[in-house]
Amino acid sequence: MTSLAVANPGSLIQSVDWVAIAPPLIAAAAAVAVLVTDLFLPERHKKWLGRLTAAGLALALIALLPLTGKSPRATFCVQNVAGGTGNGGCSYVADHFALVFQLLALGGALIAALLSTHTVDNEKLPRGEYWFLLLSSATGAALLPASRDLATMVVALEVASLPAFALVALRRDGRGAEAALKFFVSSVTATAVMLLGIGFVYAASGSLHLGAVAQGLEHAPAQLKPLAEAGAVLTLVGFAFKVAAVPFHFWVPDTYTGAPLPVAGYLSVVGKAAGLSGLALATTIAFRPYAHTWGLVLAVLAAVTMTVGNAGALRQRFDTRYSAVRLLAWSSVGQAGYLLVPLAAAGYAPTGADPLGATAAYALIYGVVNLGAFGVVAAVCRRAGASVDDFRGLFARRRWTALALAFFLLCLAGLPPGVIGLFGKVVVFRAAVDAGLGWLAVVMAANVVVALYYYLLWTARLFAPVAEGAASGEAVGDAGGERRLPVGLTATLGLTASAAVVLSVAPQLVLQVTSGSLF
């Protein structure tokens, strides 16, 4: 009879660091609480579900504070090791990298929740389902940056993605279902390709933990290296899809226009942050032995993505329906190209610390101002079908709203007084130059100049005079002057505008993440 006893049974039992996993755990608990509460609340009291969602996300953000110490905290480890990514044996590590992207994911989800309060009422979306799906997706987006094995990363990516499909489909005007179908089919295809790649990587390295994968690939037999290289490329496809990098971007314009406005803003920031964090972890830790290969691939991908995104934005007509959201969608594709530049630079750097810091800093800046821009679109037009021309003369009707949008657009363009946007682009540009990617820096500089055209053209419309009885005044429905905004929209614009102004005055608050190692 075979004995199943082990020499040290206690080694099979490990304690869970509940403080380390608190941020995504609180978001998940809030999702369950919303789902259960929705069963018992009468319809007239279901507006409290939105407040419960915002409170849960706020608590998840507060749970990040105990983790801001110097040493990372790790849990779900294969062996008895202290925290850190270098050991290669832990599935969850709360280091500086994870905290920065968890801040972006949970903070972006909170702003999207505030932005959603009016939309859920106005479009008569199912409250319980909407808030549950938003919290579930935010849980996956917060889990992904702390994941340190490929299996956990796939689970986190799918937890972030699957609820997002349903969120897009909640609009009942026919466009939502079509947008969700395009989003779903393209995402499932990318995930299938990524899983095939992970299988190849596991076969070549013998492990799923990122640190162990790097060691396995470095010492893999020569006959397995083609399999490992193919697996690395296929694995990155799923993350590139979430980032909306070309050629995996085709779903973005149609999905954003078909989704409720807050969901489009959420996908443009939180969905992109999740994909970016996964891409950074997979490349700089697991596939470090192939750094020069994926560094060149990401550099080409960044150049093509920013060029295609800006070209799509330039082709967008300002007088057509949905042009406001479509312009922001193409802009987000172009911004994804800028976000990929430091990741490409990490492939040529001795360590990935400084380039990754540039990516994290720019992602935080982009997240604040892009959600603010979506907030203004929701506040002014109250519908996704608005055109850019609907914003003509906005300054005469809604002075502070127009100034907020102008500031957000100038931040995205990288022009004063949007100083934080300028600093962000300089940091990204410097990462490319320091890595010896001069040609990529030139491509980025050219695209920044091209993007100025459509950002400034939209900004100019805000202050343009409007003839009496013009269609744009009727479209927005507020020609009579400034009206009080709903509380959720006011909170969204107040938070994003205040954050953008503070960061422009004191950019070191966010740019300090570029000065040290995130791991």
Each residue's pLDDT tens digit, 353-362? 467 888 888 8
For residues 143 and 285, what is the distance between their CA atoms, to the nearest angstrom? 17
DSSP letters, 354-375, are: HHHHHHHHHHHHHHHHHHHHHH
CB atoms within 10 A of CB 2: 3
Q: How many domains does the chain have?
A: 1
Is residue 32 predicted with pLDDT exceeding 80?
yes
Structure tokens given for 70 = 């110097």
Element (H, E) at 91: strand 90-94
Of 114-128, 359-373, 431-445, the poorest mean pLDDT is in: 114-128
Q: Has residue 219 been placed in a domain? A: yes
Q: Has residue 364 been placed in a domain? A: yes
CB atoms within 10 A of CB 469: 8
Q: Write the pLDDT tens digit of every residue in 260-277.
A: 889 999 999 998 999 999
Q: How many CA atoms lie within 13 A of 469 on its CB side?
A: 0
Is residue 81 predicted with pLDDT exceeding 70?
no
Mean pLDDT value across the chain: 84
Is residue 481 predicted with pLDDT exceeding 50?
no
For residues 493 and 491, what is the distance between their CA atoms, to the nearest angstrom? 6
Q: Return the higher-pLDDT residue of 69 and 502.
A: 502
Element (H, E) at 53: helix 48-62
Q: Has residue 16 been placed in a domain? A: no
Q: Has residue 4 been placed in a domain? A: no
**Cα–chain-centroid distance for residue 96?**
17
For residues 275 and 105, what is the distance between their CA atoms, to the nearest angstrom? 11
For residues 30 and 33, what is the distance between their CA atoms, to the nearest angstrom? 5
Which of 5-19, 69-83, 86-100 ranks highest by mean pLDDT? 86-100
Range 55-59 contact pairs with CB under 8 angstroms and sequence separation of 24 or more = 55/30, 56/26, 56/27, 56/29, 56/30, 56/31, 56/135, 57/27, 57/30, 57/106, 57/109, 57/110, 57/113, 57/135, 57/138, 58/110, 59/26, 59/30
Asked if residue 200 lies in contact with residue 230, where contact means CB atoms within 8 angstroms, the answer is yes
Q: What is the predicted pLDDT for the residue at 249? A: 85
pTM summary value: 0.89
Q: What percent of the chain has pLDDT over 90?
A: 33
Of 185-194, 322-331, 345-354, 491-500, the poorest mean pLDDT is in: 345-354
Q: Has residue 10 been placed in a domain? A: no
Average pLDDT over residues 426-435: 87
Is residue 352 predicted with pLDDT exceeding 50?
no
Per DSSP, the three-state class of 338 is: helix
Q: What is the predicted pLDDT for the residue at 14? A: 66
Give the domain extent around 99: 21-76+90-466+486-514
Determine whether 456 is exposed, middle or buried from the number of CB atoms within 10 Å of its CB (0-12, 13-18, 19+). Answer: middle
Q: Has residue 195 been placed in a domain? A: yes
Q: Has residue 480 been placed in a domain? A: no
For residues 168 and 268, what is the distance between their CA atoms, to the nearest angstrom? 13
Among candidates 114, 104, 33, 30, which has minimal Cα distance to 64? 104
Q: Has residue 126 been placed in a domain? A: yes
